[in-house]
Amino acid sequence: MKFESKVIVTIAPTGGVVKKSQNPHLPTQPAEIAEDVYRCYDAGASIVALHARRPDDGATCNPEIYQDINSRIMTKCSIIINNSTGGGVDGDMVRSLEPGLDEVIFEERLKGLEAGADMATFDAHTVLASFGGREIVVNTSPARCDIMAKRFQKTGIKPEWECFSLSHLVQDPIRLINKGFDKPPYWVNFVLGADRGIQGGLPYTPQILDMLIGNLPKGAMFCVSGIGRAQLSATTHAVLAGGHVRVGLEDNLYLEQGILATNVRLVERTVRIIRELGYEPATAVEARAMLGLVPRKLG
């Protein structure tokens, strides 16, 4: 089976930062997330990048909540489930280090691997994020990268190497790949346009994305996530460059200036663009084969 003309569309419906007050279409609870994901699957998405929320909408990696979301989705469709090990910037995920400086709790992040997902995000780097006047450190030291890599290997969950800059790709991810903690095809997600909120993050420009693509390890596939206004241009560039795309309210709240988006409308627009460029969205079955994932039966 040949997949040269197939583009994998990931939907990121919720995230760990955005609030319903910013966009009332944001799904945060298991039932509404599952229903939204099913509509996105019908529209052409083949991977879902999930974040879990507590009943009060605070961020969490609670495996029971993840299992609730995952099981609801699995009864509806065969979309590939990718759980976050990033969590978010509030709720269960953070603790205060000093006034104005918080830390995302590493032990809480690891709980994202306990819910039986197909894939999970692996941010193999340390960053300092700024949200709402707070600074939040996400410490994934080399030693912590090793701990996470062993946990991924033990659970059999495939990592999505999430990279905000070139160093996030060529340092610990490639070191861990060379140690055998992942096998090809490697799945690398470039997140561009987060430079205003993440120290060391990069904006989207054609030159920056081409540079990142040029440094991919042999055997890697790449996906591009554009934050805010960067979403449309970055994902279109990704398709033209032979890659795959992520869209959703986690990354971008607006369909166009002044018009709030829904997850389904973002997927529908992306699928139209993919087809206009001469490609086709990959089905979930095709995406599984492309990524070397074990087939999963509906239900």
| 297 band by pLDDT with thresholds 50, 70 and 90 | low
Q: Are 184 and 144 in contact (CB under 8 A)?
A: no
The per-residue pLDDT for range 238-266, each reduced to its tens digit, is 999 999 999 999 999 999 999 999 999 99
Mean pLDDT of 171-197: 96
For residue 87, being part of any structural domain is answered with: yes
Q: How many separate domains does the chain show?
A: 1
User: Within a domain: residue 299?
Assistant: no
Look at residue 2 in the predicted model and tell me its pLDDT: 57
Confidence of residue 295 (pLDDT cuts 50, 70, 90): confident
> 195-225 burial, b for 16+ CB within 10 Å, e for fewer?
bebbeebbebeeebbeebbeebbeebbbbbb
CA distance 245 to 231: 9
- Could you tell me which of 270, 266, 192, 234 has the C-alpha nearest to residue 37? 266
Task: Indicate whether 297 belongs to any domain.
Answer: no
Predicted structure pTM score: 0.96
In a domain, 189, yes or no: yes
> What are 90's two structure tokens?
């509030």
Q: How confident is the model at residue 45 (pLDDT cuts 50, 70, 90)?
A: very high
Answer yes or no: is pLDDT of 4 > 80: no
Closest to 50 (Cα-Cα) out of 23, 75, 79: 79
CA neighbor of 34 nearest in space, from 263, 272, 266: 263
CATH code for the domain of 259: 3.20.20.70
Instruction: Flag whether pLDDT at 83 surpasses 50.
Output: yes
Instruction: Give a yes or no: residue 1 inside a domain.
Output: no
**Tens digit of each residue's pLDDT (9 = 90 or more) over 58-71:** 999 999 999 999 99
Domain around 191: 6-291
